Amino acid sequence: MHLLDGHRNMKIWAIGGGKGGVGKSLVTANLSICLALMGYRVVAIDLDLGGANLHTTLGVPIPDKTLSDYLTKKAKTLDELLTQTPIENLSIISGAQDDIGIANLKQMQKHKILSKLTELEADYILLDLGAGTTYNTLDFFISADQGILVALPEPTSIENTYRFLKSVYHRKLAMAEDLLEIGPMIDQIMNAKISQNSTPADLVNKIIESNPQMGHKLQNEILKLNPKLIINQVRTQADIDIGFSMKIISKKYFGINLDYTGYLNYDATVWQSVKKRRPLLMEFPNSALVNNFDQIVHKLLNISR
Ligand SMILES: Nc1ncnc2c1ncn2[C@@H]1O[C@H](COP(=O)(O)OP(=O)(O)OP(=O)(O)O)[C@@H](O)[C@H]1O
Ligand SMILES: [Mg+2]
């Protein structure tokens, strides 16, 4: 068994996705609960600065101290921000309640949060990233051990997911210092409309041709991204299948291995538990969704082991 034995290294999972309201907080909260119930020490962190509501999904009132206090130095350590949830092993760090916004987080502050995360006493840290593709959101996503994307089976959400992936890809290329000289070429391809003729995957192939060493290094970086995909609110088999097509397209277009980790049924128990301000997993332990979460968490654990 993997429970409580031996030495465990902390893992950071970041939950994102281009669009608002797709279920990122629901996923963060319930994956956290699943892990905590398995005996792991979990800290869920609300990085949806400005729109923080993860605490509600976890059944905790607005915590006294939030990330704002850390950023304004009222709290000295992240430890001071921990609020225990009703679930054993699960604490939360709440996002800022003022309108700081993740986009406005300074580079230094972002690095500070990232480097201090690993000092928390936890086996898993889950980051609820909030919507959008600002650099800060992308950087948290890229820095995590596992990036998890949540999408709805709707054209707008699917497009947003590709846009998010494209931004992650672009950000990753921009961060590779050796590539500075071909920066303009990268920008040109990344800023072009998605087309069949010239894809980001082709770009990497071109770089491999002209500079094999640089090209392969880049290709490795991209392969390391390996994000996970969860399709939320599925109602039909066709909805479920969307995840498989997205996996194929991500590989073809970006050269990115997008793992389709699983889906979550559309389920009325979600809003019922939101209304009651009780975690779904505790309020409706026998719902179909709980089974979905169980499968997803096992898949994620197998991959990361
Ligand atoms: N599987 C589901 N079945 C039914 N309703 C759902 C499901 N997932 C999410 N919802 C509904 O969608 C709402 C938004 O979910 P959630 O707050 O988790 O999204 P979010 O991506 O975190 O949004 P934001 O970008 O605003 O932070 C929930 O309050 C819930 O009512
Ligand atoms: Mg949210």
* pLDDT at 305 exceeding the cut of 60: no
* pLDDT at 214 exceeding the cut of 50: yes
How many whole angstroms from 215 Cα to the centroid of ligand 2? 37
How many whole angstroms from 130 Cα to the centroid of ligand 2? 5
- Which of 87-91, 271-275, 292-296 shows the lowest mean pLDDT across its residues? 271-275
Greater model confidence, 214 or 142: 142
37-84 pLDDT, tens digit per residue, is: 999 999 999 988 766 788 888 888 888 888 888 888 889 999 999 999
The reported pLDDT for the residue numbered 297 is 97
Domains of the chain by start residue, with CATH: 11-154+228-245+260-304 (3.40.50.300)
Q: Which two tokens stand for residue 300?
A: 């994620």
What's the rounded Cα separation, in Å, for the pair 160 and 146? 19
**Arithmetic mean of pLDDT, 223-247:** 96
The reported pLDDT for the residue numbered 128 is 94
The reported pLDDT for the residue numbered 15 is 97
Classify burial at 70, counting beta carbons within 10 Å of its beta carbon; exposed 0-12, middle 13-18, buried 19 or more: buried
- Which of 90-99, 109-118, 192-201, 253-262 shows the lowest mean pLDDT across its residues? 192-201
Q: Which ligand is nearest to the CA of 19?
A: 1
The reported pLDDT for the residue numbered 179 is 65
Identify the CA nearest to 137 among candidates 108, 104, 115, 162.
Answer: 104
Q: Is 257 left (phi over 0), alpha (psi -120 to 50) or beta?
A: beta
* pLDDT at 197 exceeding the cut of 70: no
Whole-number average pLDDT of the chain: 86
How many whole angstroms from 46 Cα to the centroid of ligand 2? 8
* pLDDT at 276 exceeding the cut of 90: no
* Minimal-distance CA residue to ligand 1 atom 6: 270
* pLDDT at 244 exceeding the cut of 80: yes
The reported pLDDT for the residue numbered 7 is 44
232 CA closest ligand 1 atom index: 1
* Minimal-distance CA residue to ligand 1 atom 13: 21
- Which of 5-9, 139-143, 162-166 shows the lowest mean pLDDT across its residues? 5-9
User: 29 phi and psi, to 5 degrees?
Assistant: -65, -45
Identify the CA nearest to 201 among candidates 165, 235, 158, 175.
Answer: 165
User: 301 phi and psi, to 5 degrees?
Assistant: -70, -40
268 CA closest ligand 1 atom index: 4
How many whole angstroms from 27 Cα to the centroid of ligand 2? 9
How many whole angstroms from 179 Cα to the centroid of ligand 2? 35
The reported pLDDT for the residue numbered 132 is 83
From 22, 26, 230, the mutation candidate for ligand 1 (largest count of ligand atoms within 8 A of CB) is 26
State whether the beta carbon of 267 lies less than 6 angstroms from ligand 1. yes
The reported pLDDT for the residue numbered 16 is 94
Q: Which ligand is nearest to the CA of 270?
A: 1
How many whole angstroms from 175 Cα to the centroid of ligand 2? 27
* pLDDT at 2 exceeding the cut of 60: no
Which ranges of the chain does DSSP label H, i.e. alpha helix?
A: 24-37, 54-57, 67-71, 107-117, 135-143, 155-175, 183-191, 200-210, 212-225, 237-254, 269-276, 280-283, 288-304
State whether the beta carbon of 261 lies less than 6 angstroms from ligand 1. no
pLDDT band per the 50, 70, 90 thresholds, residue 272: confident
State whether the beta carbon of 274 lies less than 6 angstroms from ligand 1. yes
Greater model confidence, 183 or 206: 206
What's the rounded Cα separation, in Å, for the pair 243 and 241? 5
The reported pLDDT for the residue numbered 3 is 33
Identify the CA nearest to 10 among candidates 46, 56, 32, 42.
Answer: 42
266 CA closest ligand 1 atom index: 3
How many whole angstroms from 253 Cα to the centroid of ligand 1? 29
**Arithmetic mean of pLDDT, 139-158:** 94
* Minimal-distance CA residue to ligand 1 atom 27: 130
Task: Give me the residue label for tokens 């030495």.
Answer: 7
The reported pLDDT for the residue numbered 1 is 30
